[in-house]
Structure 1
Amino acid sequence: MTSHYFGELVQRRLRTVSITEAIGMATKNTTKRPDQSETPMQTADRLRRKHGVSLSETASRPLPKSVFDTMWANTTDDGSSDPAR
């Protein structure tokens, strides 16, 4: 089934459904799916494993405040980096 054909089917179906019914269908489809959410920590762990990256003890420690202060000092008002600073 091509995406164009599928799009036509969806449009045809939506023309016969009220907004209330559409919201109900969307809610029903959302609640039918199993909960596959993961925490940000789990996502980071999964991506590290996928790409073969491991955290060293050094990488696990937060950077000192001075690093962030320097980074923000080198940023312009619009958020872009200003290497001249």
Structure 2
Amino acid sequence: MEPEQHSRAANNHASISELAATTPEEQRRIKFSALIGIGVAMFIMVPAVYRLATEPPRWADAIFASLGVGLIIFHAARVILQHRR
């Protein structure tokens, strides 16, 4: 007899439409948190980019700059996708 955890359907994930924020309050909360995330990413990224431009390159600065860019892209995509719904 198989364990219960393996007897479920293979694809029981929620669809994107089920995960979408339905109320205006949820939409505002998502937009606010995404904008705060962009601000935090800028706070991390700007000093690292400045040091990369003015000093000899260091791995930590390159990692922080790429992490900041990735976070900005992620949060900007959240705001754009939320706006389209």
TM-score, with length taken from structure 2: 0.27
TM-score, with length taken from structure 1: 0.27
Greater fraction helix: 2
Structure ranking higher on relative contact order (CA contacts 8 Å, 6+ apart): 2
